[in-house]
């Protein structure tokens, strides 16, 4: 029973990790909360869903959804965030702008696809399971874990081994200094927004595949809220912290559902979260961010 719960928790936590990384990428550079992240990737997930309903190849549908999320976040960064950043607006203004974008995206989803819940199946994953003693491991759980870990490792390699990754790290230390060193700041920041959205779409699609449904609130309920909890637990601005915080969130939810109550799962997770941040407000792995003066 315990091993089964841990496996289920790792599957859910892996999905949360992909979504939380998108938040942390933006915060690590700009120290701004992108509350539109969840609703942007929701649009990408619904584009994938509609493409699947037409009968297109699932891989093409996934690529189209990722491209949609990427493109939307490029536009949001260009027209909603960049003007505020370049004009020296206070740090509250971009946050309010992000909330506005989130509401716009949510209403777009409601207008186009409606508020109802749809059955969801990517059609890529086997439905059979492996039996190891008394533990049942679904093939979908294995796929989710492998995909999530592979993407997180790939992102780590990109950040540490490529010029673009070094540019991202440089901007996170100091935007003016990076610009003086020849880094195209606006282009790199836009890329980070787009990359975060693409990862979010993958996380959202894995989540919808795991629970076999999709609806307009997945971005807010399972992205904005859950991923931010994971981010703060792990240490906001820390990619390693985002992953570990997400795994903790996934396992905590699964344990509470199994041993206490499914109905009060979210409320109890929030109680644990509040107690945790009162004890360790900076999270498990607080990022060492250079002070911007």
Domain of 270: which CATH number?
Answer: 1.10.3470
At residue 292, the pLDDT reads 46
CB < 8 Å & 24+ apart, contacts of 229-232: 229/269, 229/270, 229/273, 230/13, 230/16, 230/17, 230/20, 231/20, 231/23, 231/24, 231/27, 231/283, 232/273, 232/277, 232/283
pLDDT tier at 117, thresholds 50, 70, 90? very high
Higher pLDDT, 169 or 22: 169
Residue 116 scores a pLDDT above 90:
yes
Tell me how many helices (H) and strands (E) the chain has.
13, 4
Which of 106, 82, 105 is closest to 94 using CA atoms? 82
- Domain-located, residue 86: yes
- Domain-located, residue 122: no
pLDDT tier at 293, thresholds 50, 70, 90? very low
Residue 291 scores a pLDDT above 60:
no
CB count, 10 Å around CB of 246? 30
- Domain-located, residue 87: yes
Cα 7 to Cα 55: distance, rounded to the nearest angstrom: 32
CB 200 within 8 A of CB 18: yes
At residue 41, the pLDDT reads 92
Q: What percent of the chain has pLDDT over 70?
A: 97
For range 233-237, the mean pLDDT: 83
115 burial (CB, 10 Å; 0-12 / 13-18 / 19+) is exposed
- Domain-located, residue 292: no
Going from the C-alpha of 6 to that of each of 13, 136, 185, 291, the distances in angstroms are 10, 11, 42, 39
Which range of residues forms the domain containing residue 184?
Answer: 2-116+134-279
- Domain-located, residue 218: yes
Which of 259, 235, 258, 260 is closest to 246 using CA atoms? 235
Cα 80–chain centre separation: 20
Per-residue model confidence as pLDDT tens digits over 153-208 = 888 898 888 999 899 888 888 888 899 888 899 999 999 999 989 998 998 999 89
At residue 114, the pLDDT reads 94
- Domain-located, residue 291: no
| Residue whose pair of structure tokens reads 């909890």 in the numeric block | 229
- Domain-located, residue 12: yes
pLDDT tier at 148, thresholds 50, 70, 90? confident
Cα 80 to Cα 73: distance, rounded to the nearest angstrom: 10
Classify the C-alpha dihedral 241-13-7-221 as positive or negative.
positive
254 burial (CB, 10 Å; 0-12 / 13-18 / 19+) is buried
CB 8 within 8 A of CB 255: no
- Domain-located, residue 11: yes
Which of 242, 246, 225, 67 is closest to 155 using CA atoms? 242
At residue 288, the pLDDT reads 60
Residue 240 scores a pLDDT above 60:
yes
Residue 69 scores a pLDDT above 90:
yes
Determine the angle formed by the axes of helices 239-259 and 265-279, rounding to 10 degrees.
140
pLDDT tier at 215, thresholds 50, 70, 90? very high
At residue 287, the pLDDT reads 63
Looking at the 3D structure of the chain, how many domains does it have?
Answer: 1
Q: What percent of the chain has pLDDT over 90?
A: 33
């Amino acid at each position: 029973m315990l091993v089964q719960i841990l496996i289920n928790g790792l599957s859910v936590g892996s999905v949360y990790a992909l979504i939380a990384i998108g938040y942390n990428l933006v915060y690590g550079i700009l120290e701004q909360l992108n509350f539109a992240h969840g609703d942007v990737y929701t649009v990408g997930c619904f584009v994938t869903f509609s493409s699947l309903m037409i009968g297109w190849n699932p891989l093409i549908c996934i690529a189209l959804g990722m491209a949609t999320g990427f493109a939307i976040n490029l536009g949001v960064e260009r027209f909603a965030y960049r003007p505020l950043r370049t004009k020296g607006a206070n740090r509250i203004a971009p946050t309010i702008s992000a909330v506005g974008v989130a509401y716009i995206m949510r209403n777009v989803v409601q207008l186009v696809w409606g508020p109802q819940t749809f059955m969801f199946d990517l059609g890529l994953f086997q439905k059979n399971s492996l039996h190891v003693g008394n533990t049942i491991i679904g093939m979908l759980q294995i796929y989710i874990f492998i995909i999530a870990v592979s993407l997180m490792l790939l992102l780590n390699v990109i950040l540490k081994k490529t010029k673009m990754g070094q540019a991202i790290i440089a901007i996170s230390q100091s935007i003016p200094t990076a610009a003086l060193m020849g880094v195209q700041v606006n282009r790199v920041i836009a890329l980070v927004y787009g990359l975060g959205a693409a990862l979010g779409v993958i996380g959202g699609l894995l989540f919808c595949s795991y629970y076999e449904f999709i609806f307009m609130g997945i971005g807010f309920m399972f992205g904005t809220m859950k991923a931010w909890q994971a981010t703060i637990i792990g240490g906001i601005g820390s990619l390693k912290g985002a992953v570990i915080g997400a795994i903790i969130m996934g396992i905590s939810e699964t344990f509470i559902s199994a041993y206490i109550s499914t109905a009060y799962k979210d409320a109890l997770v929030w109680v644990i979260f509040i107690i945790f941040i009162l004890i360790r407000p900076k999270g498990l792995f607080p990022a060492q961010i250079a002070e911007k003066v």
